[in-house]
Structure 1
Amino acid sequence: MKIDNKVFIDDPVFYYLITLTSCISQVCNIFNEQLPKNNSIFDKIPKRHTFPNTQDIREKIRGSKVKVNLLFIIFISLITFKAYGQTSPSRNIFSSNKEHELILLNNGIAAFEKRIQLIESAKRSIDLETFIFDFDVTGTIILQKLIEKSLQGVRVRLLLDSFMISETLNDQVLTELTRYGITSKFYNRKSVLTYKGQFRNHRKSIIIDDEKAIIGGRNISDAYFELDANKNYLDREILIRGEIVSKIQESFNNFWNSSLTSSPKHIFRPSFKDIKYQNIKKAKDFTTAKQFFQYDISIWDKEHLRIKNQLDQKFPELETIRSIGEQILEESPKFSCRKNTFISDFPGLGKEHLKNDRYVKYEIFKRITQAQQKVVIDSPFFILDNETKPLIKNMLLNGVEVEIMTNGLHASDPGYAVGPLYSQVKKYLDYGLNLFLISGESPDSNVSYNLQTQSSRFVTHSKSIIFDSKSSMIGSFNFDPRSNNLSTELAYFCDDNIDLANEFMQNIQDRMDVSAQIDDKKQLKKLKFLNASFGQKILYYGLKFPSLMLINFL
């Protein structure tokens, strides 16, 4: 059934799913205490959580209630979703044969330190783009550093996906940042309950002076820099210095200047002369208007004080964190590459975006089909759709070795991402797929801030692919339908440095060593619940059927 050119599901199955989800929510409330919570080792600053978005849904989930409610949001939002055909694009791929300097950032603490170093070195401009920006310890420190540079005359711009960030860095926070000269924009402020609200900006980058850039999978939050007490992300980024950075900058500018981005609403301290209160005075009386005004003033002042206290916060731990990060960076190998490619999707919404602007996935698919010997995929999610199913099957049937490292149930944030994985992967195990499920442990080679973070639950968030042990890809692309069709993504490829590919592979292997290796269905049945809590198992079974019904939209 169509209403106003939108597609609605007029089917009893839809209402069954709604009812089922409600039942699941009640069950999960019972077991909520058994699921791990995400608490920072730095309790000085209270986090302000936004309601999680459906994109990379998995990056922002805080507890079982939110997980179930988020699936309910997916059900509702997909009422208006219609799948459209795609055609392979042929532009928006930038290549360079000049030498580029590269540093692989496997460790979160080192990645945090490198960001600070880059910000401190900036002379002209800093452009930061992210999907999540928590106002926690690492987020606050980065904002403090950005404020310092802005006050020195460096142009600072923040490009933020609206749904995941509009509460953590809300309009009042961003209004406060404008006082220091920092400008911000939100991407796609449409409600995620609508079809067009499903199109998110999932890209992550920081660009300094149009000369150096970090791209990869990390957002801005303690867990992405391995500084959280309960859960940390095993992620990966690459620092690039060379002419292709100008193309990364150009891509940032395309998004910044897009009609889909908008400035935050400026939230200034209320004045009784504001038209809102004058209208209340006319409609009601002076006393009522004054009451509304005093209430709004108290809310604004409370939030202003919270923002000020956080931005003024001192962190004695920072010296130790930076020292650890600096030592890791000093020991990190440096690489060069003469065959570089950067690719990004274009900003866009709706049918035309699905059809014309999907650049990253087609480049990845092309390279996968060209592989002759082996493809290694490191992704937090491995969910196949009608395009990727034959892609993986044909590789395996043609004798190409395929290794997948992804999260098992214990390491997976959203329980509904594991249901499709376990259901789909059985057939491909028969074809010879090698599956590695992250078990939640920290690799032996990984350097941690302290024993508390080292003993936390570790999950993979890396987005990397190695082709034939010689070409490497790193970016923001997850191996799932959402990155294929709804998220804007970016990726960098190096095609002429085997040493870099080996370094990629060594780090992946270190993570595989603490993962469960699955070679057949029997092992999958035995190990799929490795280290999982009782609550996680309940969540898995409760969400398995709905997630399979909506597999093309996860």
Structure 2
Amino acid sequence: MSPLLRGLVLSLALLGGACASLSDTQRNRAASIAQAARSQVIDCSAANACAQPSALRALGDRAQSESTAQAPRHYALILDRGQDALLARLNLMRSARSRIDLQTYIFDTDDSARLVLDELLAAARRGVQVRLLIDQLSAIPDLRILAALSGAHQNLQIRIYNPSFGKAKLNYLDYAGSVLCCFRRFNQRMHTKLILVDNAVGITGGRNYQDDYYDWDAQYNFRDRDVLVAGPAAGEMGANFEAFWNARRSVPVERLNDVGRKLLKEGVPAMPVAEFKRPERVAAVSAEANDAEQVRERLVAPAMPVGAVKYVADLPQKHRRERPHGAAPAVPELKALIDAARSEVLIQTPYLVMSDAAQDLFRDLHGRTLPPQVIVSTNSLAATDNAVVYSMSFKYKRRYLRDFGFRIYEYKPFPEDAPVDYAALMPDGPPLALGSEGRFRGPSGSIGPSGASTRTQRGTRRQRTEPRPSFLSSGAASRLLPLKRAGVRLGLHAKSMVVDERVGVIGTHNFDPRSENFNTESAVVIADAAFAQALAASIRRDMQPENSWVVAPRAKPVVLSGLDYSLGKVSESLPLFDLWPWRYATSYEFVPGPDCPLPVAPNDPAFHQCYQAVGDFPEVNVGPKWLYTRLLTAFGAGLVPIL
């Protein structure tokens, strides 16, 4: 963008923001309108706010009763399946006796998000104090819904974190102006995710409030992971939420310019009637949340008793320039765990982009006399929701494999054995074939209708992805890459780590520069061997040959292998353009046979006998593949500091 055009955009944005800004008097009037409209009617007179009996909520009471100051007791549940994660949230909200605190980065208006909103309103009306805190970048995009919530009930409060130009909903000029005038502040996002009930049971992890986090999207869903924790650590979660709720950047929604203007003009509107795309599916999960047997079988029985649990979470002060001591504890805590590893570090992250500090850490780790093995589960280009970020991972494959000693597994877009309800993903299409072990599979492993493997899947437009500023959320940058086959694809979004199968970590941290420098993050750290092994098994499942390709060095060419390696290394070190077409590593598919009954590691002598090279970007249909990704790399390299 030329200086003249940049100045014009900035001037228009600032002018538009100034014109739309309310005076203090107007803002106070809008807040008074919302407050006066709030219902004070409570549907329940019971001391427990007519909370639904719940064995899941009871885990919090049990953990508290079994705990002492010297020996805390917790129950921890790994939530791999999206439908279980939604079921747990619904059941806990209905079982709340006094308080629900919900903090998130994305809150949409689709089926799952609207269902959660309705549950929060129902809880408020029966006497539960409900607080909802959403980052502005991906907050509820409907001003009518926000205005309705601002005046819905005295027990419901909603605040927006870090609102640019004092608005809930930004247009393109707002985004451009925010980047040009105050880039650092605009990029400081609240990526922390938490739902906490009665300061007794909390859930954190990768999931936001949007259909694709709960296996409800018809085109693309995230393979994600949350952890539910019941016990004393919930108090730490509550204290952290309180710090965000009272932060200067957390603004009551009725005091924002666009919501306030709507209130001044129209008063508090009625909550729009829910128009569910799949009402039968909404009704089914709602009924399950009332089914005590379902809750016990799917959520309570798998919960694991563990001892001490640490909730490691950044504070909002991370976004201040002075960064007081202790304001951003998540990063050093995770680095200390990695540095203490002796045999293995198992990492699952959707975006394998590392800061300089992280690269130094892993380089030093690999330089030890007996280095631990670092195994990474991440997205392939075919599975990712953000090709620009993937391009940076691709650019540095040689460094990851050779200098850091990583073993990298890249998730397939059509995994055959993912923790999802395959049949539910395409309920309106032809029935899926039932594969071995009762798993549903589409053709050639794709999740989709019969015959889909012969068609090319067109790029799907994504409205939001977490690692990039939303002013890039239109056009080609927001589309999933076209694939060679059709079907409902999956992409990794889980952020987890296991160290020596003795410590397990589940949280929101993407192990990338954004998580270190811009976003606030949270994670649950559990030093329990049984929990760590269960988490490791979940990650290793995603790395199995039916679910992932393995990235490994190519077989060395007969001639000029040294020259090829040197030129590739030089090209990689260029700050923007990376033009050398022959790469150090590529993707491989396991080919079982009499001599290859089981998968082997890339450093095994039999690797190239048992694995077939499938190209740098398997499944992707982009024409000249290496050229396309070089273009992405040329663009993405300049974004490393904010990615």
Shift of 1:145: 1.0
The CA deviation string for residues 487-509 of structure 1, in whole angstroms up to 9 with x for no partner, is: 001111111x2221121111112
Distance 1:314 1:408, change over 3 A: closer
User: For 1:485 and 1:268, how far apart are their aligned partners in 2?
Assistant: 32
Q: Which residue of 1 aligns with 2:248?
A: 259
Distance 1:321 1:153, change over 3 A: closer
Q: 1:395–1:401: 8 Å Cα contact kept in structure 2?
A: no
The CA deviation string for residues 272-325 of structure 1, in whole angstroms up to 9 with x for no partner, is: xx7xxxxxxxxxxxxxxxxxxxxx76xx99xx57x5222799922224345778
Q: Which residue of 2 aligns with 1:542?
A: 631
Does residue 320 in structure 1 map to residue 287 in structure 2? no
Displacement over 6 Å in runs of 4+: 268-271, 311-314
Decide which of 422, 447, 451 is 2:394's aligned counterpart: 422
User: For 1:270 and 1:234, how far apart are their aligned partners in 2?
Assistant: 38
Distance 1:405 1:330, change over 3 A: same
Moved more, 432-441 or 341-350: 341-350
Decide which of 328, 347, 357 is 1:358's aligned counterpart: 328
Does residue 523 in structure 1 map to residue 586 in structure 2? yes
The CA deviation string for residues 132-164 of structure 1, in whole angstroms up to 9 with x for no partner, is: 001100011111111111100100110110111
Moved more, 440-449 or 402-411: 440-449
Does residue 337 in structure 1 map to residue 306 in structure 2? yes
Distance 1:336 1:172, change over 3 A: same
Shift of 1:355: 7.8
Amino acid at match of 2:550: Q
The CA deviation string for residues 394-416 of structure 1, in whole angstroms up to 9 with x for no partner, is: 22232210011111111111211
Distance 1:481 1:96, change over 3 A: farther
Q: Gapped runs of 5+ residues in structure 1?
A: 1-13, 20-94, 275-295
Give the alignment of 1:355-434 within 5 angstroms. 357-398=327-368, 399-431=371-403, 432-434=405-407
Decide which of 495, 503, 507 is 2:534's aligned counterpart: 503
Q: Secondary structure at the match of 1:517?
A: strand
Moved more, 540-549 or 204-213: 540-549
User: For 1:232 and 1:402, how far apart are their aligned partners in 2?
Assistant: 27
The CA deviation string for residues 229-286 of structure 1, in whole angstroms up to 9 with x for no partner, is: 1100111111111111011001000000111111113647979xx7xxxxxxxxxxxx
Q: 2:79–2:225: 8 Å Cα contact kept in structure 1?
A: yes
Q: Gapped runs of 5+ residues in structure 2?
A: 7-68, 166-177, 428-446, 449-487, 554-583, 588-612
Distance 1:265 1:533, change over 3 A: farther
Distance 1:314 1:420, change over 3 A: closer
User: For 1:553 and 1:270, how far apart are their aligned partners in 2?
Assistant: 34
User: For 1:409 and 1:189, how far apart are their aligned partners in 2?
Assistant: 32
Q: Secondary structure at the match of 1:157?
A: strand
Decide which of 176, 185, 198 is 2:149's aligned counterpart: 176
- TM-score, with length taken from structure 1: 0.73
Q: Which residue of 2 aligns with 1:61?
A: none
Amino acid at match of 1:114: A
Shift of 1:171: 6.6
Q: Secondary structure at the match of 1:127?
A: strand
Q: Which residue of 1 aligns with 2:211?
A: 222
Percent identical = 23
Amino acid at match of 2:85: A
Q: Which residue of 1 aligns with 2:456?
A: none
Distance 1:471 1:433, change over 3 A: same
User: For 2:511 and 2:121, how far apart are their aligned partners in 1?
Assistant: 36
Does residue 476 in structure 1 map to residue 440 in structure 2? no
Larger radius of gyration: 2
Does residue 115 in structure 1 map to residue 95 in structure 2? no
Amino acid at match of 2:512: D
Structure of greater relative contact order (alpha carbons < 8 Å, 6+ residues apart): 1
Distance 1:218 1:452, change over 3 A: same
- TM-score, with length taken from structure 2: 0.63
Q: Which residue of 1 aligns with 2:413?
A: 440
The CA deviation string for residues 67-122 of structure 1, in whole angstroms up to 9 with x for no partner, is: xxxxxxxxxxxxxxxxxxxxxxxxxxxx9841101111010000000100000000
Distance 1:97 1:367, change over 3 A: farther
Does residue 462 in structure 1 map to residue 464 in structure 2? no
Q: Secondary structure at the match of 1:126?
A: strand
Q: CA RMSD in A?
A: 3.0
Q: 1:96–1:341: 8 Å Cα contact kept in structure 2?
A: no
